Amino acid sequence: MNRILVLRPQPAADETASRAAALGLDPVVAPLFLIEPLRWPPPPAGFDAVLFTSANGARCAGIAADVPCYAVGPATAAAARTAGFVDVRTGPSDGAAAAAMMAADGIRRALHLCGRDHIAVAAPGVEIERRIVYSAEAVPELPPAARRALAEGALVLLHSARAAAAFAALAGKRPGVRLAAISSAAADAAGEGWASKSVAPFPRDEALLELALRLCHIAPPEAAAAGT
């Protein structure tokens, strides 16, 4: 079985599905959240960096400033460049690591443009002011495509702790459902009672898909080519 269930919001869900299909997986896209841009107060004057902890923040903010932009992960960095930021610096793991990068670079005042549900980040010596630029509204029930995929034994990908908690609340009976989580926090948020829970070695979509390949017993393309 090479079917996987992708629950993250659009357009990220289609990006994951495209990567998955290229690897030989059979993705079913059924987002649990709908992204809505929000009107937000004008940014304060005098900040010397912008922080994005999600690609949706970059897509929904509607601004590009002539200051360094710190982004969590390559997908968020790409969204920041598309939004018009030129000096984009990619953090190695999470918001805390990106904030530490800002402190090391001598940033003193930063603007964090994020979603309504976010993890506050901080770093010594850096004043971080937040603006909420989008919301991610949960769907009231599992989409029909998700229910069909689960009935067919699909492996469920969990890209965040919030998605894991939402899926657990909606999934109902779970003994036969296998989970692949992007982080330990996401795995923990899903709770117990699943057939199995596995965690990607790094909090990246690519690492999660590599884990899915192993769980679905599919050799990565380069490994398959090497064995021919």
Percent of the chain at pLDDT above 70?
A: 96
What CATH architecture does domain 43-135 belong to? 3-Layer(aba) Sandwich (3.40)
Mean pLDDT along residues 100-117: 94
Does the pLDDT value for residue 192 go beyond 80? yes
Q: Where are the domains of the chain?
A: 3-33+139-226, 43-135
Does the pLDDT value for residue 226 go beyond 60? no
Does the pLDDT value for residue 193 go beyond 50? yes
Helix (H) or strand (E) holding 91: strand 88-91
Query: How confident is the prediction for the chain on average, in pLDDT?
Result: 91
Does the pLDDT value for residue 224 go beyond 70? no
User: Whole-model pTM?
Assistant: 0.80
Percent of the chain at pLDDT above 90?
A: 78
Q: Is 174 helix (H, G, I), strand (E, B) or coil?
A: coil
pLDDT of residue 220: 63
> pLDDT digit string (tens) for 120-167?
888 999 999 999 999 999 999 999 999 999 999 999 999 999 999 999
pLDDT of residue 222: 55
Decide: 45 and 2 in contact? Cβ < 8 Å: no
> pLDDT digit string (tens) for 28-61?
999 999 999 999 988 888 999 999 999 999 999 9
Decide: 133 and 114 in contact? Cβ < 8 Å: yes
Check for a shared fold between 3-33+139-226 and 43-135: yes
pLDDT band at 219, cuts 50/70/90?
low
Class of domain 3-33+139-226: alpha beta
Mean pLDDT along residues 154-182: 93
Residue with tokens 């990607």: 200
Decide: 88 and 80 in contact? Cβ < 8 Å: yes
The length of the chain is 228
Task: Show the 3-state SS of 175-204.
Answer: CCCEEEECCHHHHHHCCCCCCEEEECCCCC
